[in-house]
Structure 1
């Protein structure tokens, strides 16, 4: 009876050959994972270098694009109106590409806060700091530039989306891209008193924040006190409203593109650091497993030599 129990206990315990084979399989898995993580580290480092190169070009384009926004501010300094705009059209500016941190989610969250009339909403007009913003309707129309924010807003505010744009600013945004978007907006048939641009504001090379810029429409310009003092044709006001919208969109596109490259560089830098830490941990685990296998083999050799 005792012999049967001893035989059964020996049968359930793994043999040294099986244990060594299991260790070798584990070492092979660790080695394959090390190889894949090293490849990922090479890719993230390359993407970081590319983003750093593109960031310098994007900053130069952003500084040039800001001049268009400053021109708009100078034109509309004397267009104050006592009646705030009631019908607002929101234009959310993001991009089609990912792997750039929270660039897209920041403007999506800012848009949801603005439609909910949240007190921490970035809906503040950069054209008229003294104007009192009207309460935003929950059913305000939304247009999105970029597929990433479109996918995020379609889940929460799918009924508000009236038009989306993609393949804009794949490299560096140009004024022709902004003019094309402004032309499609004005000919879309959507009624609005003012346009609110939700975009990412470039703070520094490592930080950004969501911002809002309000552009008056054709009726807002006509009803402003500064324009009432002059006799102008309807086409002049209409053309000025469309041109100012194109200027603002171009300035926001260039600034958002610079924020995207900055965030991508930061994201790839963090990914490279995480891959490096994982490589160190896996390398230590691999060395310990290899040392255990070698120790077991030495024990088997010494045991066999002692038996002889």
Structure 2
């Protein structure tokens, strides 16, 4: 009986101490798991921030080359436009005549809504001229337009945008386009026009058919022989495609640099928020451990 009474307070203290830390241990385990999750998330965001900062630097370097190529391509394209403006060339109209729209996009993403804006313009154009055909340069716009206007696509090219476009690339594309069986009244080259380092807009360049060039009011002033007309038409088309690809490439690099800059800033903001959350959670874990130690010490004293 005496032993039982002596053991009773220690037994009560032991039961109380065992009951209270059980809840604290469960809470502590949850806090440690949460702390580990936050730490993993922080590590992931920091890795993403490193990637986006690197991509921004790469895009900035490529933008310089792209702008130089864009300036050179304008010389080709604007020269052809000057000839057709002087000749007063106009696209031929007729119910049996179709329009071919050449879309200058690329295969690469992570550059904001540059490809989406181009696709929206094409959809608006097709809503007005549903009988038009599409020749798409690049996989991005092809994927977007295939869902809504797949029946209009007659030609597509992959491998676009890996490097700065060249006139040889444009010539090869123009050769494929002129080999299409359909006799088009006009060919419109749609691309993103470079306004400045922050903005761009989708525009089109008109590339005329042989009949339209031959029917120009002032065409005779240039004294071009009939055999050379087909070569002039293909050369002018290659110039326009080269211009569109080069300027579109510069817009893409500029948009990618801006997109990666914004992504890096957003990652930095997330890192700051998660760092604060990590610190608060760690303080909560430490406080929980202190409470457990103090509770255990108090229970021992009661014993």
Normalised by the length of structure 2, the TM-score is 0.88
Q: 1:295 to 1:89 in 2, by over 3 A?
A: same
For 1:29-78, what per-residue CA distance to the aligned partner results, in whole angstroms no more than 9, with x for missing partners?
11011101100000000000000000011111111111111111211112
CA–CA distance in structure 2, aligned partners of residues 85 and 215 of structure 1:
14
1:278 aligns with 2:270: yes
Q: Is the 8 A contact 2:91 2:208 kept in 1?
A: no
Relative contact order higher in (CA < 8 Å, ≥ 6 apart):
2
Shift of 1:230: 6.7
Query: Partner of 2:72 in structure 1?
Result: 64
The unaligned stretches of length 5 or more in structure 2 are: 1-17
Q: Is the 8 A contact 1:93 1:144 kept in 2?
A: yes
CA–CA distance in structure 2, aligned partners of residues 105 and 163 of structure 1:
19
Query: Partner of 1:107 in structure 2?
Result: 118
Number of residue pairs aligned between Structure 1 and Structure 2: 280
Shift of 1:81: 5.0
Q: What are the residue-to-residue correspondences of 1:49-128 with 2, within 5 Å? A: 49-81=57-89, 84-86=92-94, 87-117=98-128
For 1:119-158, what per-residue CA distance to the aligned partner results, in whole angstroms no more than 9, with x for missing partners?
xxxxxxxxxxxxxxxxxx3121110000000000001110
1:208 aligns with 2:200: yes
Query: Partner of 1:248 in structure 2?
Result: 240
Larger radius of gyration: 2
Q: Is the 8 A contact 2:198 2:254 kept in 1?
A: yes
Shift of 1:24: 0.4
The unaligned stretches of length 5 or more in structure 1 are: 1-9, 118-136
Q: 3-state DSSP class of the match of 2:184?
A: coil
1:152 aligns with 2:144: yes
Shift of 1:237: 1.1
1:192 aligns with 2:200: no
1:168 aligns with 2:160: yes
Normalised by the length of structure 1, the TM-score is 0.86
Shift of 1:190: 2.5
Q: Which moved more, 1:43-52 or 1:81-90?
A: 81-90
Query: Partner of 1:4 in structure 2?
Result: none
Query: Partner of 1:296 in structure 2?
Result: 288
CA–CA distance in structure 1, aligned partners of residues 187 and 69 of structure 2:
23
Shift of 1:82: 6.7
